[in-house]
Structure 1
Amino acid sequence: MTSKTLNQFLDDCIAELKENGLYNAIDVVQGANGPVITIDGVEKINLSSNNYLGLAADNRLKAAAKQAIDSHGVGSGAVRTINGTLDLHIQLENKLAQFKGTEAAISYQSGFNCNMAAISAVMDKNDAILSDSLNHASIIDGCRLSKAKTIRFGHSDMKDLRQKAKEAAESRAYNKIMVITDGVFSMDGDIANLPDIVAIAEEFDLITYVDDAHGSGVTGNGAGTVKHFGLEKRIDFQMGTLSKAIGVVGGYVAGKANLINWLKARSRPFLFSTALSPADTIASAKALEILMGSTELNEQLWKNGTYLKGELKKLGFNVGVSETPITPCIIGDEKQAQMFSKRLFEEGVYAKAIVFPTVPRGTGRVRNMPTAAHTTEMLNEAVSVYEKVGKELGII
């Protein structure tokens, strides 16, 4: 018999989430995750995917993955430090270093794993981390795992960052101090002020860490937010994912060779979790090859993002402060955001509601992620649905 206490706890908590409009029903996609997806046998225009460049179903990546399965099997067979390091992993990491403009790179099984691994491998209870107040959950968990003192600064507030950096440095209470920020903030689409962050870091000898999960493949002509600002030689950690614009799965850190060597010796997911599969590894390497060879997909992504954002703003939707193709429609009330998403779905547009705890309470929204694979016709159809539902619910 299962625990009555546990069952009561779960039933009460789930009921509370549903009552407050915070319960997230999971939809099942039938087939590939592209610009149009099929759910329950019905096609929907997909505006909720992180597949920014449309590479998740790209024939070139699929061919590379199939070839890797034939030559290397379906699994890597071990952790990297025993005999799970395949020649394919070395190829991928060399390409990542070239892509990010660094001496070396290390790959991980996921972006979340990556932040948990890298932060805790370098920072400890004798250190402090200055963290942007809107940083991703994986950064927050990585900071907690490190046991370092976490000092939050106001979102992109450089005055606050400088003051807290000064206080931490002058206190002489910490062995090391790190400043960590998203490169592109995934819920609002704004870009971190990396030039000022670097200037403050150099003034107070801070370690710099940029999580560019939503910037790699998007900003800097595809090479990311650090490249966008020309700061490749002045950032210590460049973290990114292989699961968004790259279109596959996994994460990585790029930086100096001694940093990567240390992460290979001390980061726990690298040491204790089986390595990326051959198919995922070579497909990721193929995506990087495509991005380094052409900016066509990146340019199309920005064209589509700019177009959709402009059309939604014309209708009167609040798209916030986005500087990237990420286009939130901020509703505010969580229940209304859920209803808005539900009605969009019924009208043929898949745009998922984002509510607390992913975003602060009272800032519920539908976040739109136009990709390079969307056509103008798809976007126009989506805008038409947005207009209909927005007026119906009194949002515009």
Structure 2
Amino acid sequence: MDTLTPKLETTLQEIRETGLWKGEREILGRQGSHVETAAGRSLNFCANNYLGLAGDPRPAEAAKAALDRWGFGMSSVRFICGTQDQHRALEREIAEFLGTEDSILFSSCFDANGGIFEALFGPGDAIVSDELNHASLIDGIRLCKAARHRYRNANLEDLRAKLTAAREAGADQVVIVTDGVFSMDGSYAPLPGICDLAEEFRALVMVDDSHATGFVGEGGRGTPELFGVRERVDILTGTLGKALGGASGGYVAAGQAIVDMLRQKARPYLFSNTLAPAVVAGSREALRIAAGAHAEREHLVRIAALFRERMGAAGFELLPGTHPIHAVMFPGEDGARTAGAVAARMLDLGVYVTAFSFPVVPRGKARIRVQLSAAHSEDDVLACVEAFTRARDGVSAT
């Protein structure tokens, strides 16, 4: 007897009625600064396509060539017969780019974060995690038997208190875990202070740099490079699915012993199919392009500043920061509904953005997250600001 469906239908209706429903719009073509949807051609301001490489023909051409040479898929996990020499080549290239001894590929960064903790830490260890860390970090930590401590977002005083508690409890290995960039806020983790505390308390530092690798810091090497702490960060995780081509795949970059242990024990690595050959080839080309994308990174900084300036002048509330992620806030009880209505109206105006509300963000802190790409022009940014203004005014009038 199906007793589950009626319960689910009731909950789904509640989600719709409270304005928290997360719909999916179909894109009729490739990802880019402009996309085609059923509503027509729109400026796209809600992809993680920071360098514009998702729609760039160069990674796509590399992927096409790889289909002929390497085939469509591997039909295996890595340690059985699923490792091509190009998989190891990409791992070495990621490690060289980030300045680590080695790296290891996963099907996604979610899998990388999901598999790392159980493989490296256990009873007697302690994990100290920022409260706003990505869901993949939270889930990975839950799978581990180490003691868990959560500190307030980017709060070094609270981090010190949690580290003190971990050491007083007799923890052996202690690791501080943080996003390099908090994806819903567009804010940076205070890595210099985190690294100082790590040295004081003899702790490791792990950073998920998914929203930074390729376009933040000198040469696009991420937040540790931006803050000058590259040699003080022990473990870096990241994705190939954002700035580095936008396809799929993730990685862990670290010292040799850490990477070797993950090859032996990380369950998502051991029991997941190998990353597809075409994705590997396209990602290698994207990484090569990103390493030399100096002009694109400078342009991204300029248009990010322009967007913030013009949105502030138009009376919008944005969370502070300099990252290409911009959280346009719609606070309060009706914020989720308002944000959703503004996003829908903007699509009618030819600008594609997405509203976020609970449970993706805390209740009462609904927002539209705007993400800029190096493929956007200044005129694109100004058109986005104009659409925000018109949509807000139109929603307010109804």
Q: TM-score, normalised by structure 2?
A: 0.96
Cα distance in structure 1, aligned partners of 2:53 and 2:135: 25
Q: What's the offset of the Cα at 1:393? A: 3.2
Is 1:186 equivalent to 2:188 in the alignment?
no
Cα distance in structure 2, aligned partners of 1:147 and 1:342: 44
Of stretches 299-308 and 42-51 in structure 1, the one that deviates more from structure 2 is 299-308
* Cα RMSD after superposing both structures: 1.3
Which residue number corresponds to residue 324 of structure 1?
323
Secondary structure, in 3 states, of the residue corresponding to 2:285?
Answer: helix
Which residue number corresponds to residue 20 of structure 2?
22
Of stretches 298-307 and 315-324 in structure 1, the one that deviates more from structure 2 is 298-307
Q: Among 177, 197, 201, which residue is 2:174 paired with?
A: 177
Q: What's the offset of the Cα at 1:314? A: 1.2
Is 1:257 equivalent to 2:256 in the alignment?
yes
Which residue number corresponds to residue 366 of structure 2?
364
Cα distance in structure 1, aligned partners of 2:321 and 2:341: 23
Cα distance in structure 2, aligned partners of 1:148 and 1:73: 41
Cα distance in structure 2, aligned partners of 1:393 and 1:320: 22
Cα distance in structure 1, aligned partners of 2:312 and 2:119: 44
Q: What's the offset of the Cα at 1:147? A: 2.8
Which residue number corresponds to residue 108 of structure 2?
110
Cα distance in structure 2, aligned partners of 1:120 and 1:315: 48
Secondary structure, in 3 states, of the residue corresponding to 2:339?
Answer: helix
Cα distance in structure 1, aligned partners of 2:174 and 2:12: 40
Secondary structure, in 3 states, of the residue corresponding to 2:386?
Answer: helix
Q: Among 360, 365, 379, which residue is 2:381 paired with?
A: 379
CA deviations on 1:214-235 (whole Å, 9 max, x unpaired) are 0112211311001112222211
- The number of aligned residues is 392
Q: Among 148, 151, 154, which residue is 2:152 paired with?
A: 154
Which residue number corresponds to residue 211 of structure 1?
208
Alignment of 1:222-233 (within 5 A): 222-233=220-231
Which residue number corresponds to residue 197 of structure 1?
194
Which residue number corresponds to residue 270 of structure 1?
269
Of stretches 283-292 and 152-161 in structure 1, the one that deviates more from structure 2 is 283-292
Q: What's the offset of the Cα at 1:163? A: 1.3
Identity within the alignment, %? 38
Q: Partner amino acid for 2:237?
A: M
CA contact (8 A) 1:305 1:371 kept: no
Q: What's the offset of the Cα at 1:296? A: 2.0
Which residue number corresponds to residue 394 of structure 2?
392
CA deviations on 1:189-233 (whole Å, 9 max, x unpaired) are 111000110110111111211000101122113110011122222
Cα distance in structure 1, aligned partners of 2:13 and 2:293: 50
CA contact (8 A) 2:126 2:148 kept: yes
Which residue number corresponds to residue 336 of structure 1?
338
Q: TM-score, normalised by structure 1?
A: 0.96
Cα distance in structure 2, aligned partners of 1:255 and 1:379: 37
Q: What's the offset of the Cα at 1:77? A: 2.7
CA contact (8 A) 2:34 2:42 kept: yes
Q: Partner amino acid for 1:175?
A: D
Which residue number corresponds to residue 135 of structure 1?
133
Q: Partner amino acid for 2:178?
A: T
Q: What's the offset of the Cα at 1:41? A: 5.4
The change in CA–CA distance for 1:24 and 1:145 in structure 2 (over 3 A counts) is same
Which residue number corresponds to residue 6 of structure 1?
4
CA contact (8 A) 2:113 2:136 kept: yes
Is 1:345 equivalent to 2:347 in the alignment?
yes
Cα distance in structure 2, aligned partners of 1:120 and 1:54: 35
CA deviations on 1:253-310 (whole Å, 9 max, x unpaired) are 1111111111111101111111101110011111111122331222222222221122
Please, which runs of 5 or more residues in structure 1 have no aligned partner?
none
Cα distance in structure 2, aligned partners of 1:98 and 1:240: 14
